[in-house]
Amino acid sequence: MIEKKFRIKNKLGIHARPAGQLVKVATRFKSAIYISRNGNEVNAKSIMGVLMLEAGHGSEVIIRINGEDEFSALEAIEELIDKRQFDEE
Amino acid sequence: MTEQIEKPFITVEELYQKSQQRVALSILNNTASFSRKIRERELHRPGLAMSGFVDVFTFWRVQIMGNTEIGYLTTLPPDERRRSLETVLGFELPCVIITNNHTPPGELLEVANKHGITLFSTPLDTTTVTHHLSEYLETVFAEKTIIHGALVDVYGVGMLITGEPAVGKSELALDLIERGHQLVADDVVQITRLGMNRLEGAPTGRIKHYMEIRGLGIINIRSMFGIRAIRGKKVISVVVHLEKFTEDRDYERIGIDGKFREILGVQVPLVELPILPGKNITVIAEVIATNQKMRDLGENSAEDFNKNLINAMKDQENG
């Protein structure tokens, strides 16, 4: 199992579109993927779960992954959250 | 999947019969030109041609003679009147409609009979006749296409169900009928574009309200479910495309960036629905219809939700 903290940098935070992107990336992998904020952990493959976190600009989330392809999953999520910032400013 | 139908025409006889309710035509002389074909929706007033200018005379259109034309004829001496009418009726006109119940001058009847042209009369004025006939002819000559699928009226929303053969289009339509919705057409839907962006779907000919259910055969929806289960035509508001679920395909999860399918140049909202065993597609179809109705009324669940969420996150950030 691996875990990593992320800071949300795009201006609007994880609203519907970024949540959709995250779920899309997460569902590509076999591993169980979770995302948590302020101690609330939800399945990163569930749209409504991810939206429930209300992770706005500057907030901190933890991604926890467990499974055979956990490293490549983390890499893909890093790419989306840190490098691409959900393709938003 | 779509194919263009050959450019249509109607005969003068069809025009006469099918426009009865709109313009109440009566035959003044005979049915000599009943078999002539009308191929354009535009009408023409032959006033200028009667005065001798025939260079751009659109004689192949339905000709309307109103106050102007009849009034002009009465100002001419008989021999000139005859010459004027010979000029116009010498062309191969489909027919002439005289408005306001005008009594045609004797020469008009004579010359029309000589050239085998049917004269009609109507009690309506020229503007009204033009309006109603144009509307009728527009539906006749509108762009048409045929699409394989089922068209069902779900809560007043015209839903076109498409998908590969045997994916369950007819079964979904049948299930919707069972729940009180109305079948417009199954398997073959004839689609007509009205105006700029309205698409109307209807069944074609003999297969009207019959349905083929695999493993059972052809059933008659009208006899089986009654008159309340069917509908003659319906404007299409949403396309539901059924497809077998595949792992490597992304399906819509949010519903903010809508998808569309183009039919006859019109963009129709599209929902792609993966089929999975045990999933109640009928209930989802009803929700799609309701959601579409809300969107048409300016209410978008996904967008509203997102707006509230973004505001809440901003409030948090600001303290």
Number of residues assigned to chain A: 89
Structure tokens at B269: 């909202």
Handedness of CA B280, B286, B290, B292 (dihedral sign): positive
A4 touches chain B (CB under 8 A): no
| Domains of chain B listed by start with CATH number | 7-140 (3.40.1390.20), 144-304 (3.40.50.300)
Q: Which tokens is B206 given?
A: 């003999």
CA distances from B32 to B38, B120, B165, B292 (A): 15, 12, 49, 51
B188 forms beta bridges with B148
pLDDT, average across residues B98-111: 93
B267 CB neighbour count, 10 Å cutoff: 12
Percent of chain B past pLDDT 90, that is, above it, reads 69
- Whether residue B313 and residue A58 make contact (CB cut-off 8 A), yes or no, is no
Range of the domain at A34: 2-87
CB A57 within 8 A of CB A13: yes
For residue A15, indicate whether it is catalytic: yes
Model confidence pLDDT, tens digit, residues B133-176? 998 898 888 888 989 999 999 999 999 999 988 888 999 999 99
A50 touches B: beta carbon within 8 Å: no
Sheet holding A2-7, edge to edge: A2-7, A60-66, A32-37, A40-43
Read off the pLDDT band of B318 (50, 70, 90).
Answer: confident
Indicate the number of domains in chain A: 1
What is the SS3 assignment for B154? Answer: strand
> Nearest CA to B16 among B7, B3, B8, B25?
B25
Residue A47 maps to which CATH number?
Answer: 3.30.1340.10
Count H helices and E strands in chain A, helices first: 3, 4
Q: Closest residue of B to A24, CA-based? A: B250
- The reported pLDDT for the residue numbered B6 is 54
Share of chain B above pLDDT 70, in %: 98
CA-CA distance, B253 to B300, in Å (whole number)?
14
* DSSP letter assigned to residue B227: G
Structural contact between residues B256 and B306, judged by C-beta atoms closer than 8 angstroms? yes
pLDDT tens for B17-33 read: 998 889 999 999 999 99
| Model confidence at A38: pLDDT above 50 | yes
Q: Is A13 an interface residue toward B (CB < 8 Å)?
A: yes
Least CA distance to A30: which residue of chain B? B247
More confident residue, B28 or B205: B28
Buried b (16+ CB within 10 A) or exposed e, A24-36: ebbbebebbbbbb
Among candidate residues A25, A8, A9, A36, the one with its CA nearest the CA of residue A73: A25
Asked if B253 lies within 8 A of A47 by C-beta distance, the reply is: yes
Residues of chain A contacting residue B256, judged by C-beta atoms under 8 Å apart: 16-17
Interface list for A 61-80 with B (CB within 8 A): none
Beta strand spans in B155-233 (E): 157-163, 182-194, 198-203, 210-213, 217-220
How far does the CA of residue B257 sit from the closest CA of chain A (Å)?
A: 9
* Stated pTM of the model: 0.72
Chain centroid to Cα B23, Å, comes to 19
- What is the spatial distance between Cα A52 and Cα A15, in angstroms, rounded to a whole number? 10
Residue among A10, A15, A22 with most chain B CBs within 10 A, to mutate: A15
